[in-house]
């Protein structure tokens, strides 16, 4: 059975997330996508960013979904909540205690590869 969560609930949560994040809509949508694999991220963002935001979620998933939102409100990083982080187009499983790959690390790796290629050529 699916439950439809409507605007007041969603707006309040997004407002609380906005106190710790510069992208509260994206954070909410990423957490929601953990529980709804059918809906893509863009359509979720469009559903929650309008005047009357709504989402549909399985009744059995409401409590874990809400607990994940509370974790985010308490400043838990998104990869620890979704257990996923993309690094070099590969999806890595992230759990507590694992360092989260940062985007600038990809630049460092690229520089290291170029440097190694330069050493091989000279």
Going from N- to C-terminal start, the domains of the chain cover 2-82
The angle at the Cα of 45, spanning 42 to 50, to the nearest 5 degrees, equals: 130
Which of 20, 11, 2 lies closest to 73, judged by CA?
Answer: 20
Predicted confidence at residue 122, as pLDDT, reads 66
More confident: 54 or 70 = 70
Return the percentage of the chain with pLDDT > 70, whole number: 99
Structure token pair of residue 93 = 């499983």
More confident: 5 or 67 = 67
State the DSSP code for 98: S
Which of 74, 4, 70, 79 lies closest to 36, judged by CA?
Answer: 4
| Residue 25 pLDDT level (bands cut at 50, 70, 90) | very high
Structure token pair of residue 73 = 């409100």
Question: For residue 62, how many other CB atoms are within 10 A of its CB?
Answer: 13
| Residue 111 pLDDT level (bands cut at 50, 70, 90) | very high
Predicted confidence at residue 41, as pLDDT, reads 86
| Residue 6 pLDDT level (bands cut at 50, 70, 90) | confident
Asked if residue 118 has pLDDT above 90, the reply is: no
Q: Which residue has the tokens 């407002």?
A: 15
């Amino acid at each position: 059975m699916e439950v439809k969560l409507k605007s007041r609930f969603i707006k309040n949560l997004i407002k609380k997330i906005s106190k710790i994040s510069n992208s509260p809509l994206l954070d909410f949508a990423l957490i929601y996508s953990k529980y709804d694999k059918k809906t893509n991220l863009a359509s979720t963002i469009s559903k929650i960013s309008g005047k009357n935001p709504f989402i549909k979620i399985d009744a059995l998933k409401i409590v874990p979904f809400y607990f994940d939102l509370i974790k985010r409100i308490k400043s838990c990083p998104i990869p620890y909540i979704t257990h996923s982080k993309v690094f070099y187009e590969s999806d890595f499983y992230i759990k507590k205690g694992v360092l989260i790959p940062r985007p600038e690390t990809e630049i460092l790796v690229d520089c290291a590869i170029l440097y190694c290629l330069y050493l091989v050529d000279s």
